[in-house]
Chain A
Amino acid sequence: MSFVNTNNTVLLDPTNERRVATMERVGRPESLRGLTVGLLDISKARGDVFIDRLEERLSEMGADVRRYKKPTFTKPAPVDLRHEIATHCQVVIEALAD
């Protein structure tokens, strides 16, 4: 048998072999005054309590607050919702409850 033998073990990569694209985060604004701030409620129980309070505080600071809500906390936000938030807001706060 004319097989080439080496001692090296060759393994097959079990991963998705992806190179994850990295994106620069937008710079932190000096002030929230006049900016549109999105508040994303992930639909967990009592998350709205936290977000209501945030809305109050942010409005006092002069931010234009918009509320968004995921249909269920168990699944990623639908792509249309993500697009809507990205289009309308300069700043986003995603609240997790538990």
Chain B
Amino acid sequence: MTANHSTVPVLPDGLVIVVKRECETCRMVVPVIAQLRESGTVVNLYVQDDPAFPDGMDVVHDADLSVSWHHDIETVPTVMRVSNGVEVERTVGWVRDEWERVTAVSGLGPDLPAFRPGCGSLSVDPDLVDRLRVRFGGSVLSARRVDVADLEDEFEAMFDRGWTDGLPVVPPTEQRVMRMLQGTTRAPSDVVAVVPPDLVEVTVEKIAINAVMAGCKPEYLPWVIAGVEAVCNDTFNIHGVLATTMPVGPVIVCNGPGTRAIGMNSGMNVFGQGNRANLTIGRAIQLVIRNVGGGRPGEVDRATHGNPGKISFCFAEDEIGSPWTSLATSRGVAPDTDALTVFPGEGPRCVVDQLARDPESLTNTFAACLRTLHNPKSVLAFDVIVVMGPEHARVYADAGWDRERVLEELHARLQIPGDELVRGAHGIAEGVPERLRGVTLPKFRPGGILLVHAGGGAGLFSAIIGGWANGEVGSQPVTMTVTR
């Protein structure tokens, strides 16, 4: 390889035409190029594939596609007029009028049709583009290169280095990372956040590397970046969420049209297996915490049990089928805006009610189930996400209950007499201090129930995701918009 692949080659003055033999239109315009040269016009002819094409003509072989790459040649033939090293005009394919305008020569190709589309440039060939991106743009990557020996299995090598969450990861090669970075407009060197517990600045590049390993597509990257930013701050307090002995991890609820554009699941089996976007976005965020932040189980992560969602727990809200405004909108984001909300959550549990056809009865079921969260005698300490299944939501929609009404009725049913909550009551040592006997206490603080609409169309079920120490002493849910 030659020294500096990122240097943009300067174009010579006059006409610059880029062709390849493989392209039928390029072969068709060979007489026109000859005609231009005969007219005394300076024609600098670059050929991408075969330096012997066109037969007998002086050409420059753009062997490494450096000229094509740096001058954004997407179609061949491309004709450019260059003055003082600067491109002033360009046309692509064969359009006689356009060629005559750019070359300032008339009567070109009299025997040819007036128009014929060109072909794809080799520099944008899907089989080559990843390699070219590394070759000409790879210098933007600053991560340490790790050589894996010929006889070493790269998957095992990544396990050995402690880079994985216990499942295999995709090897983060330069080509894959450069492709991943196409998913964002942000510079690879941009610092996104300071990641606990080691409090290390994380760049877009490091996030992209971990996103590759998690199995993300480039279009998922903005969601991963937003997720990392959303958890790495004093409000969400990922340090505490990681370090706690409780079984919680970041639960990521995604909203907006972008969730549908990248194919996220908000329906059947919404928390389960089978959807690449759901699984890999959440996994990538966790890999960043592990690899960049240094947060590993048994070290700063002290969870007694943990939960399988600590590998990945990420899903989209079903907004299309929802009778309500979305979670993100309820938290101040404009409708139809891509956003995600992070919540320190345990695994989901099921709420079954197959008989309720009126909202009061169904709300009673929800309240009774929510009452038991973490401990039936625990109050105010934890928030919760209620993931309402579509068949349950329909009961509320038919009765005309909006989001606010549902939450209001739930909170009203979760006001608990202190007599039932004090230590020792019901034969349970756990509870609130004796002085709170006679005081009515709410199970959840105001705003402590987050309502989300998701799940398959069949099944009179919903889900509850219990939270962790809430408020300023613990973790607050954080909502963040997602931008490319």
Contacts and interface: CB of A to CB of B under 8 A. Distances in A.
Given A1-B128, A75-B237, A12 B245 contact: no
B240 A12 contact: no
Contacts of B148: 8-11
Interface stretch (A14-22, A26-34, A86-94): A14-22
Contact of A8 (B147, B158, B469, B473): B147
Contacts of B200: 16, 18
Given A2-B64, A18-B198, A11 B173 contact: yes
Closest 8 pairs (CB-CB, A-B): A74-B240, A13-B144, A72-B473, A16-B200, A12-B143, A14-B291, A9-B148, A14-B209
B292 A16 contact: yes
Contacts, number: 100
B146 interface: yes
A74 B248 CA distance: 13
Given A8-B148, A11-B145, A72 B172 contact: no
25 contacts: A1-B65, A3-B135, A4-B1, A10-B145, A11-B157, A11-B158, A14-B206, A14-B287, A15-B292, A16-B195, A16-B202, A16-B206, A16-B292, A16-B293, A17-B143, A18-B198, A18-B200, A43-B473, A71-B473, A72-B240, A73-B473, A74-B240, A74-B473, A75-B234, A75-B239
Nearest to A96: B302
Interface string B72-113: 000000000000000000000000000000000000000000
Contacts of B145: 10-13
Nearest to B135: A3
A12 B163 contact: no
Contact of A7 (B150, B205, B292): B150
Contacts of B146: 10-13
Contacts of B13: none
Contacts of B245: 98
Contacts of B143: 12-14, 17
Interface string B141-174: 1011111111000100110000100000001111
B362 interface: no
A9 B158 CA distance: 12
B68 interface: no
Nearest to A72: B473
B244 interface: yes
